[in-house]
């Protein structure tokens, strides 16, 4: 089999597995389809090369950082056609996000802007003018918040795209009630 044909076959097998076992489809993004494997595990199947590279990055980021603010990655196929991740449910609302983390989702940008050099560049060029980042003293106080500390730590240790971690859709809640990023492959 050619190297191009192998991921195709692997994907076919993984999708077949999901179908034959009646796995519930949890969602689909630009390059991956996600199923519930067990009540605690998600199966993320890459639909193309981009999806495989996202799967690989999530595995690498998790194993490099063991950060509590991302989904754990437990298993992968050798070519990253699929990974098995910690299952999450969507965050219900901004209020729930606040209750679980102690930070308002809309303040994430300001906090990252203050604390991480790489986001400064991104926000300065794209967000700062258009979205009027208003940094207040309260944002500096948030640097003591545990969730914020973990998020900043993650951004500093990885090349994670900061503009992808400031929206509520990027987060989920784990079965042990952690708020985590669920799509951090970029």
Ligand X SMILES: Nc1ncnc2c1ncn2[C@@H]1O[C@H](COP(=O)(O)OP(=O)(O)O)[C@@H](O)[C@H]1O
- Where does this chain bind ligand X (CB under 6 A)? 26-32, 34, 42, 44, 51, 54, 71, 85-88, 172, 182-183, 185
**Interaction residues for Mg ion, span 18-77 (CB under 5 A):** 29
> What is the rounded distance in angstroms from the CA atom of residue 43 to the CA atom of residue 31?
14
Work out how close the CB of 88 gets to Mg ion at its nearest, in angstroms, rounded to a whole number: 13
Which residue in the shown chain puts its C-beta closest to ligand X? 29
Cβ 9 vs Cβ 1: under 8 Å: yes
90 sits near Mg ion (criterion: CB under 5 A): no
183 sits near Mg ion (criterion: CB under 5 A): yes
- Given ligand X, Mg ion, none, residue 185, with its beta carbon under 5 to 8 Å by kind, binds ligand X
Tokens of 15: 């999708």
> What is the rounded distance in angstroms from the CA atom of residue 82 to the CA atom of residue 66?
20
Looking at the Cβ atoms of 58 and 115, the one nearer to ligand X is: 58
The dihedral formed by the CA atoms of 86, 91, 97 and 101, expressed in degrees to the nearest 10: -10
Handedness of CA 65, 68, 73, 74 (dihedral sign): positive
Looking at the Cβ atoms of 136 and 167, the one nearer to ligand X is: 167
> What is the rounded distance in angstroms from the CA atom of residue 48 to the CA atom of residue 69?
26
Cβ 179 vs Cβ 68: under 8 Å: no
> What is the rounded distance in angstroms from the CA atom of residue 43 to the CA atom of residue 178?
19
Work out how close the CB of 144 gets to ligand X at its nearest, in angstroms, rounded to a whole number: 29
Work out how close the CB of 71 gets to Mg ion at its nearest, in angstroms, rounded to a whole number: 12
Which H, E and C letters describe 168-184, residue by residue? HHHEEEECCCCEEECCC
Work out how close the CB of 4 gets to ligand X at its nearest, in angstroms, rounded to a whole number: 21
- Given Mg ion, ligand X, none, residue 7, with its beta carbon under 5 to 8 Å by kind, binds none
Work out how close the CB of 182 gets to ligand X at its nearest, in angstroms, rounded to a whole number: 4
Looking at the Cβ atoms of 28 and 121, the one nearer to ligand X is: 28
Looking at the Cβ atoms of 84 and 133, the one nearer to Mg ion is: 84
- List contacts with Mg ion (CB under 5 A): 29, 183
């Amino acid at each position: 089999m050619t190297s191009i044909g192998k991921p195709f076959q692997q994907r076919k097998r993984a999708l077949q597995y999901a179908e034959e076992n009646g796995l519930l489809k949890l969602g689909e993004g630009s390059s991956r389809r996600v199923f519930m494997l067990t009540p605690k595990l998600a199966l993320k199947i890459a639909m193309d090369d981009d999806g495989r590279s996202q799967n690989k990055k999530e595995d690498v980021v998790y194993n490099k950082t063991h950060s509590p603010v991302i989904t754990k990655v437990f298993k992968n196929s050798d070519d990253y056609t699929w990974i098995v991740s910690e299952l999450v449910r969507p965050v219900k609302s901004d209020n729930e996000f606040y209750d679980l983390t102690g930070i308002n989702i809309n303040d994430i940008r300001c906090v990252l802007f203050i604390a991480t050099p790489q986001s400064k560049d991104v926000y300065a060029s794209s967000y700062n003018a258009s979205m009027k980042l208003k940094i207040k003293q309260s944002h500096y106080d948030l640097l003591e918040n545990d969730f914020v500390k973990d998020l900043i730590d993650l951004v500093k240790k990885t090349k994670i795209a900061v503009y992808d971690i400031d929206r509520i859709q990027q987060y989920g809640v784990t079965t042990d009630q952690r708020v985590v990023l669920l799509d951090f492959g970029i």
